[in-house]
Amino acid sequence: MEKLKKLSLAAQIFIALVLAVIAGLLMQSHAEFAATYIKPFGTIFLNLVKFIVGPIVLFSIMAGVVSMRDIRKVGQIGGITVVYYFCTTAVATAIGLAIANLFKGGFPALETSSLSYEAPEATSKMDVFVNIFPSNFLTPITEANMLQVIVTALLIGFAIILLGDSAAKAVDGINLWNGIFMKVMEMILSLSPVGVFCLLCPVIAANGPMVIGSLAKVILAAYCAYVLHAIIVYSATISTMGGMSPVKFFKGMLPAIMFAFSSASSVGTLPINMECTENLGASREVSSFVLPLGATINMDGTAIYQGVCAVFIASCYGINLTPAQMVSIVLTATLASVGTAGVPGAGMVMLAMVLTSVGLPIDGIALVAGVDRIFDMGRTTLNITGDASCSIIVSNILRRRGAKI
Give 171-200 pLDDT, tens digit per residue: 899 989 988 987 887 788 788 788 878 877
Indicate whether this model's pTM tops 0.85. no
CB-based contacts of 213, cutoff 8 Å, min separation 6: none
Binning pLDDT at 50, 70 and 90, where does residue 119 land?
very low
| pLDDT at residue 75, as a whole number | 53
Binning pLDDT at 50, 70 and 90, where does residue 118 land?
very low
Whether 53 contacts 146, CB under 8 Å: yes
Helix pair 210-229, 300-316: axis angle to 10 deg: 150
Nearest to 188 by CA among 15, 4, 345: 345
∠ CA(128), CA(86), CA(181), 5° rounding? Answer: 80
| pLDDT at residue 179, as a whole number | 85
Mean pLDDT throughout 287-295? 76
Binning pLDDT at 50, 70 and 90, where does residue 259 land?
confident
Binning pLDDT at 50, 70 and 90, where does residue 296 land?
low
Nearest to 317 by CA among 109, 122, 118: 109
| pLDDT at residue 3, as a whole number | 54
Whether 403 contacts 324, CB under 8 Å: no
| pLDDT at residue 380, as a whole number | 84
- Report CA-CA distances (Å) from 6 to 15, 98, 128: 13, 39, 45
Mean pLDDT throughout 365-386? 81
| pLDDT at residue 299, as a whole number | 83
Please state, in angstroms and rounded to a whole number, the distance separating the CA atoms of residues 387 and 253.
11
Mean pLDDT lowest for which of 22-26, 245-249, 373-377?
373-377
Please state, in angstroms and rounded to a whole number, the distance separating the CA atoms of residues 349 and 24.
26
Greatest pairwise CA separation for the chain in angstroms: 72
- Report CA-CA distances (Å) from 158 to 349, 354, 379: 24, 24, 30
| pLDDT at residue 244, as a whole number | 94
- Report CA-CA distances (Å) from 88 to 105, 251, 275, 382: 27, 21, 23, 11
| pLDDT at residue 81, as a whole number | 84
Specify the DSSP element, H or E, that contains 213.
helix 210-229
Mean pLDDT throughout 133-153? 80
SS3 405: coil
SS3 124: coil
| pLDDT at residue 344, as a whole number | 44
- Measured in degrees and rounded to the nearest 5, phi and psi for residue 266 equal -65, -45
Highest mean pLDDT pick, 13-17, 96-100, 326-330, 340-344: 96-100
Residue 132 has what DSSP assignment?
Answer: T
Rg (CA), the chain: 21
Please state, in angstroms and rounded to a whole number, the distance separating the CA atoms of residues 130 and 106.
35
From first CA to last CA, the distance across the chain in angstroms is: 53
Q: Burial letters for 179-198: b for 16+ Cβ neighbours within 10 Å, e otherwise? A: eebbeebeebbeebbbbbbb
The pLDDT of residue 373 is above 70: no
Whether 343 contacts 189, CB under 8 Å: no
Q: Which carries the bigger pLDDT value, residue 289 or residue 343?
A: 289
The pLDDT of residue 280 is above 80: yes
The pLDDT of residue 222 is above 60: yes
Residue 82 has what DSSP assignment?
Answer: H
Q: Which carries the bigger pLDDT value, residue 334 or residue 119?
A: 334
Residue 364 has what DSSP assignment?
Answer: G
